[in-house]
Structure 1
């Protein structure tokens, strides 16, 4: 980014850029960083958030780090971004931890967990419950420094071509999902499959998939799932929230001076709430439009299905607590401890408030 463009584009950044003007040696030392993402460019939700992060790192660094975004497939495939950053092909990526279970199942807990943490609780675990140190330790094995930088909030249970009336209806169902939700689905007799949003649309269209979940109404609308499946089920207990992450090549991050390390860290942290609340707002608007304009049927999963999912989810977490990898066990124990701590409090706090509002307002 040219200095003149930067100065006219950000009042806050101008103060930082002014410092660079006073120090020509620093101004000349501009780092050109490549960000690879798991998303199509500007995909509503994660694609938009990725560009916001690239722009914010550039701004908060005073233009001393120029981040150029490469969407999925432009430099590396979407599912190849972790390895690209680990190996130094790119300096950072934007994706979700749910995609890296093949590296270690312990990674999956940092993004989402069936019947697990909400978006605010997920951030709380990392910031105040010891989660970030474990996050750093796990990703350090792969030469990556990780940061949470957003959250999609509660996801939906998914798009189904046929109605779900009992647990038996799930058996043999070809279902797109990711992360620990895949393991929960498999325990229920479903055939969980991981694929991108565009591939999920085509698979639903051809019948290669019977159902699938991606993110939520905002992103799902843009991908057109309502055109091939009209039954949209909730609640998305497989992912009560889904954190988005920025992974930075550890060597590149370590080479930064302290102020630029702080700029990268603050860029990620400062976007978590804006990204989350944008998802919440756009999800609400999009769901209303899906029903009114596209005839989508929003349906609640039967209680016995939710109960069966809960049982399967508990087994998934218990297996992580008994994993052969000592670090995975520590991550799982930390997650369970924080979940139980805040879960007990939420009975009186947010859950109490939401239940009270619903009893009076109906929502």
Structure 2
């Protein structure tokens, strides 16, 4: 082959290769379309930890896609009221919502199963069940009838038991107590004589101040510290047995989810999981300092008595039996949790519990303080 013939053939081959590259570009572009979604949050901007989960998802997706997947986040009340965020995703008013499943308790009690049920999981156990025990899949099987798919998008860890205008020493102290608490938790404590009240966040403080309610549960030290409850209801109880590991979730309109390329679906799931774990870490970092500040400002820490805890546990089991008879989707999800719940608390008594207990004893003995005995 002479030089001229070789160059001619090489040029043809190069042109063909270039043409092939040019033809491939539109296909790649089609795989990475520009997506613009709106997200309705159930939370006000002032709750930077929970509301911030929506912002974090938006930022992560935008950065990972060079600005092609955009989610505009709206606080509670900007498009729909906070308690209607999930419904807005169902009907397509928005493409997705950042909310807690039990906010839709009145629509269907089975919504609560993807958030939290009293006396089930801690945050760590909940993550294990969600990601490796079928929790996400079980919840999404239920949600399909509401045109939704959901992924965990945050956790607060075990919540506090709320703020009380008087001490709760016995079960008798709960009789007739008007308490801001909603959904499944309200149905449980109602069996103990509590009168549940459903109030929006902005109404809680003035209701406590005026005596319209006697108690209110919120979240935990960091969020509670912003609201000044200790000024009007100084007794701060723990634990919030109704929320041992509450999952906040991203609820996505199923039709919009189905339209996404597989690469975007994978990325969205990964970003949701990152937000889920990061929110818990943020609360774990901020709550210790906040609790010290609350006590310094006059909060009186109290633990619920064993009698109250035992009675609440039995009341929860009664509610689960009632709901399982009333609602097949609730029954299916609740019963799926039980084998792992049993295994988790058996395992947790060994290494984790023993190590934590030992370290707590050292803390109480002052040995963990800087400069303390090492």
**Structure 1 residue 268 displacement after superposition:** 0.4
Q: Does 2:300 align with 1:277?
A: no
Alignment of structure 1 residues 174-323 onto 2, 5 Å:
174-292=178-296, 294-320=297-323, 322-323=324-325
**Partner residue, 1:99:** 103
Q: Using a 3 Å threshold, how does the CA distance of structure 1 residues 170 and 126 change in structure 2: closer, same or farther?
A: same
Q: Measure the CA separation in 2 of the matches of 1:136 and 1:146.
A: 6
Structure of higher CA gyration radius: 2
The Cα offsets for residues 154-179 of structure 1, whole Å up to 9 and x where unpaired, read as 10000001111110110111111233
Preserved contact between residue 150 and residue 245 of structure 1 (Cα < 8 Å): yes
Q: Measure the CA separation in 2 of the matches of 1:44 and 1:175.
A: 25
**Partner residue, 1:127:** 131
SS class of match (1:109): helix
**Structure 1 residue 23 displacement after superposition:** 8.1
Preserved contact between residue 112 and residue 241 of structure 1 (Cα < 8 Å): yes
**Partner residue, 1:347:** 349
4+ runs deviating over 3 angstroms: 21-29
**Partner residue, 1:17:** none
Q: Measure the CA separation in 1 of the matches of 2:139 and 2:264.
A: 21
Alignment of structure 1 residues 132-151 onto 2, 5 Å:
132-151=136-155
Q: Using a 3 Å threshold, how does the CA distance of structure 1 residues 340 and 308 change in structure 2: closer, same or farther?
A: same
**Partner residue, 2:358:** 356
**Structure 1 residue 26 displacement after superposition:** 4.9
RMSD of Structure 2 on Structure 1 (CA)? 2.0
Preserved contact between residue 60 and residue 267 of structure 1 (Cα < 8 Å): no
TM-score normalized by the length of structure 1: 0.89
**Partner residue, 2:51:** 47
**Structure 1 residue 208 displacement after superposition:** 1.4
**Structure 1 residue 357 displacement after superposition:** 2.4
**Structure 1 residue 146 displacement after superposition:** 0.3
Q: Does 2:133 align with 1:157?
A: no
TM-score normalized by the length of structure 2: 0.86
**Structure 1 residue 280 displacement after superposition:** 1.3
Preserved contact between residue 61 and residue 263 of structure 1 (Cα < 8 Å): no
**Partner residue, 1:108:** 112
SS class of match (1:195): coil
Q: Measure the CA separation in 2 of the matches of 1:155 and 1:120.
A: 14
**Partner residue, 1:330:** 332
Structure 2: which 5+ residue stretches go unaligned?
Answer: 1-24, 366-374
Q: Measure the CA separation in 1 of the matches of 2:211 and 2:27.
A: 61
Preserved contact between residue 175 and residue 192 of structure 1 (Cα < 8 Å): yes
Q: Measure the CA separation in 2 of the matches of 1:264 and 1:107.
A: 22
**Structure 1 residue 227 displacement after superposition:** 2.6
